[in-house]
């Protein structure tokens, strides 16, 4: 599958643009200055690089080697640095309780893989750490603005609630939004998104 993404990203411009996702931009106020942020499935780096520009300590992971290289180029162009790992999230040695935030934007899996990766994302959060996540809802199948065409890879807010059991939700919703993210996501889209904070360990 990484070859699928390598092909999509093998172009001069940035497939999803080089500016951040709107939901991420709207939620970043929750993070403290200098927070350690893990950006999973960061593609060509538009979100990770923007977070680095905001002064966060960013670790960006994606299994597309082309995407990772374009993330590094974008970071250099913006004069910021971030750590990039070109790795498969299904086999990556995930850090535990190390991040003040995990950001996941349009990262879709089949159900078993999704549950596994979401559990790792939750475990990677330090106590009080934030999850910021946006992905396409099953209703997206009625729209032409991008995303997987397999309903099993699309998720409701309820599924997010079920996957992330250790979080207190501050925002959990779904709805129509107008996407203007490069040529990859253009037009009306139906999304699920959430912001949740990891409960501190008890005892
Ligand atoms: C729809 S793109 C979104 C990219 C980026 N988050 C954005 O919004 O611009 C999905 C990304 O997830 C990455 N991805 C999918 N499965 C992955 C896996 N198992 N391990 C690492 N990256 C993965 C792909 O390479 C691709 O860059």
Output the six-digit token pair for 127.
Answer: 């106590």
Q: Does residue 203 form part of some domain?
A: no
pLDDT on residue 160: 98
Q: How far is CA 151 from CA 45, 91, 140, 142, 163, in A?
A: 26, 24, 9, 11, 17
pLDDT class for 199, splitting at 50, 70, 90? confident
Residue 42: CB within 6 Å of ligand 1?
yes
Tally of structural domains, the chain: 1
Asked if pLDDT for residue 96 goes beyond 90, the answer is: yes
Q: Does residue 105 form part of some domain?
A: yes
Residue 80: CB within 6 Å of ligand 1?
no
Cα(107)–Cα(24) distance, rounded to whole angstroms?
Answer: 14
Q: How far is CA 91 from CA 4, 86, 88, 163, 177, in A?
A: 18, 12, 6, 19, 33
Residue 189: CB within 6 Å of ligand 1?
no
Distance (Å) from CA 55 to ligand 1 centroid: 23
Q: Does residue 170 form part of some domain?
A: yes
pLDDT class for 76, splitting at 50, 70, 90? very high
Residue 45: CB within 6 Å of ligand 1?
no
Q: Which contacts (CB < 8 Å, 24+ apart) does range 110-117 have?
A: 110/150, 110/152, 110/153, 111/152, 114/153, 114/155, 114/163, 115/163, 116/90, 117/40, 117/89, 117/90
Distance (Å) from CA 18 to ligand 1 centroid: 15
pLDDT on residue 201: 64
Span 11-44, pLDDT tens digits? 999 999 999 999 999 999 999 999 999 999 999 9
CATH number at residue 70: 3.40.50.150
Q: Does residue 138 form part of some domain?
A: yes
Q: Which residues constitute the domain of residue 107?
A: 2-198
């Amino acid at each position: 599958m990484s070859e699928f993404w390598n092909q999509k990203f093998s172009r001069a411009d940035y497939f999803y643009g080089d500016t951040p996702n709107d939901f991420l931009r709207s939620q970043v106020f929750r993070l403290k200055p200098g927070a350690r942020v893990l950006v999973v499935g960061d593609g060509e780096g538009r979100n990770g690089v923007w977070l680095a520009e905001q002064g966060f300590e960013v670790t960006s992971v994606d299994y597309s080697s082309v995407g990772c290289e374009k993330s590094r180029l974008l970071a250099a162009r913006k004069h910021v640095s971030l750590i990039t790992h070109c790795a498969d999230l299904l086999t990556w040695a995930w850090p535990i309780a190390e991040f003040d935030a995990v950001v996941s934007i349009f990262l879709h899996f089949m159900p078993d893989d999704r549950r596994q990766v979401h559990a790792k994302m939750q475990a990677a959060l330090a106590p009080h750490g934030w999850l910021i996540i946006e992905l396409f809802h099953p209703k997206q199948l009625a729209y032409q603005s991008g995303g997987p065409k397999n309903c099993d890879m699309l998720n409701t807010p309820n599924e997010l609630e079920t996957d992330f059991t250790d979080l207190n939700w501050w925002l959990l919703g779904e709805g129509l939004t107008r996407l203007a993210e490069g040529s990859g996501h253009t037009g009306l889209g139906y999304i699920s998104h959430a912001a949740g904070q990891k409960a501190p360990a008890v005892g």
